[in-house]
Amino acid sequence: MTDHNIPSTRGAVDLSALANHGPEATDSTPAGAASWTTTLDEAAFQQFVGLSQQVPAIVSLGSPRVQVSADLDATLRKLVDAKGGKFVLGLVDAESYPQIAQAFQAQQIPMVVALIKGQPVPLFQGPAEEAQIAQVFAQLEQLAVQQGMSGTAPAFSGQAGQAEPELPPLHQKAVDAIDAGDYAAAEAAYLEALNEKPNDKDAQVGVYQVRLLSRTHNLDLNKAREQAAQNPEDIAAQLDVADLDVVGGHVEDAFARLVSLISKLADEDRERVRRRLIELYAVIGNADPRVAVSRQKLARVLF
């Protein structure tokens, strides 16, 4: 598996030429089981792209006549359907519908791409183990939350099974506020949850995620980068770009920027940037290998 780091959602692929028609569910789903997996032709593709405004829409470009591709699609279907609507999956026979593969500039199959709000996010090419795909999906789910996408899509077929466990009331209140774009209310709900249960790790991460969304939702990436480049000693400008890089999936760039900045600072300024970096570690997930690598670099700078 290659290309498993999630990049920015800013893409240049033109998907508008494909016609508009509803996707249909695959015929390989067990009878009665809910499925968020569908087969796509050129006519169905554009409506599938539209679903990416709600949830990440994953496209698998392959061929059912190639065993590696068929095995990958089976694994993708299993993992996507287990998400209960947080993702949708479209399977494309790239040999029968080369126009779709060309739209993604596919150089080989199988190739897996996600769409977030209509923009392509390359995931990986070639075969992959289930555990590797699950890790990529975890990153994609995090990126979706950072983009304000925390809902679910209806199944293409079947009936949903057992519902996901309900969130604690304050967590649900926070999620509802995020969906409404009210980040202040979302942060207040998570902080209230922390006040009730100080060891609520999900609430603490929620606070950091909401703060990140609040800080970045009105920022312009190009202007922020220009400001940071012209003013390398402007701490606020460097923090803005790091935030935008995390939201856009350029996690290593964000971490490297802040570790480098910390190496040049002292006292309160150094601590200010260190605290921001620790928050971003939590947003990405402390088990993420990129966090572990950056922590080692940070330790060398600090000690």
For the cut 90, the answer to whether the pLDDT of residue 263 exceeds it is yes
Closest CA to 33 of 80, 71, 90: 80
Q: What is the pLDDT of residue 31?
A: 45
Mean pLDDT on 92-111: 87
Rounded alpha-carbon distances, angstroms, from residue 292 to 252, 295, 299: 11, 5, 11
Higher-pLDDT residue of 32 and 204 is 204
DSSP letter string, 85-152? TSSEEEEEETTT-HHHHHHTT--SSSEEEEEETTEEEEEEES---HHHHHHHHHHHHHHHHHTT----
pLDDT at 3: 52
Percent of the chain with pLDDT over 70: 86
Q: How far apart are CA 281 and CA 291, in angstroms?
A: 6
Q: Where are the domains of the chain?
A: 24-146, 169-302
Cross-strand partners of 38 = 25, 90
Residue in 265, 269, 211, 285 with CA at minimum distance from that of residue 243: 211
Is residue 283 within a helix (H) or strand (E), and if so which, with residue range?
helix 267-284
Instruction: Mention the CATH class of domain 169-302.
Output: mainly alpha
- pLDDT at residue number 144: 83
In this structure, the strands spanning 57-62 and 88-93 are parallel
User: What is the third-level CATH fold of 24-146?
Assistant: Glutaredoxin (3.40.30)
Q: How far is Cα 301 from Cα 282, in angstroms, rounded to an integer?
A: 20
* Residue at token pair 């460097």: 238
| Inter-CA distances, 120 with 13, 114, 174, 237, Å | 7, 6, 28, 28
pLDDT in tens, 9-24: 433 334 444 433 345 4
pLDDT-derived band at 191, boundaries 50, 70, 90:
very high
pLDDT at 277 over 70: yes
The C-alpha angle with vertex 114 and arms to 108 and 115, in degrees rounded to 5, equals 125
3-state secondary structure of 285: coil
48 and 92 in contact (C-beta within 8 Å)?
no
pLDDT tens digit sequence for 63-77:
888 888 888 999 999
Instruction: Provide mean pLDDT across the span 134-141.
Output: 85
DSSP 153: P
Residue 130 has what pLDDT?
Answer: 85
pLDDT in tens, 174-190: 888 887 788 899 999 99
Q: What is the pLDDT of residues 151-176, one digit of tens each?
A: 788 888 754 444 445 778 998 898 88
How are the residues of the chain apportioned to helix, strand and coil, as percentages rounded to the nearest 5?
Answer: 50, 10, 35
Pick the residue with more confidence: 218 or 5? 218
pLDDT at site 13? 39
Residue 42, token pair as written in the block: 């050129």
| Nearest by Cα to 85 from 168, 7, 167, 144 | 144
pTM of the model: 0.53
* pLDDT band for position 296 (cuts 50, 70, 90): very high
